[in-house]
Amino acid sequence: MDTQEIIKQQVTTHPVVLYMKGSPAAPQCGFSAHAVKILNACGVDDLFAVDVLAEPEFRQGIKDYSNWPTIPQLYVNGEFIGGSDIVSEMYQSGELQKLLESAEAK
């Protein structure tokens, strides 16, 4: 399987997927840490995280897959949601919580 096929499999078989720098327990950038903090605040307990620093082929692969230039990237039920800024805005408006409630992650 090539990187694009693996990414597609990851985002479609896990309800909540975060491509990030580092891990949820040890984020390696402030934006990734912020995204994890928001997901934790939303009660997500079934987060599938991919560390793009540990798996370099995913660092560019996920950018190509989503056509989005930055990391972290959040996917819910196979749909690309956005990066740290969009996740933050959606959380502040309550939209992210509603979206995550519809996910099978809770």
Could you read off the pLDDT of 27-49 as tens digits, one per residue?
A: 999 999 999 999 999 999 889 99
Residue 98 confidence (pLDDT) above 60? yes
- Looking at the chain, the whole-number percentage of residues with pLDDT higher than 70 is 97
pLDDT given for residue 88 in this prediction: 97
Q: What residue type is 24 in one-letter code?
A: P
Cα-based distances in Å from 76 to 1, 28, 97: 22, 22, 11
pLDDT given for residue 45 in this prediction: 86
N- to C-terminal Cα distance for the chain? 30
Q: How confident is the model at residue 104 (pLDDT cuts 50, 70, 90)?
A: low
29 in a known ligand binding site: yes
The average pLDDT across 53-74 equals 94
- pTM of the complete model: 0.94
pLDDT given for residue 10 in this prediction: 97
Quick one: three-class SS letters along 36-105? HHHHHHCCCCCEEEEECCCCHHHHHHHHHHHCCCCCCEEEECCEEEECHHHHHHHHHHCHHHHHHHHCCC
Structural domains present in the chain: 3-81 (3.40.30.10)
What is the Cα–Cα distance from 19 to 92, expressed in whole angstroms? 21
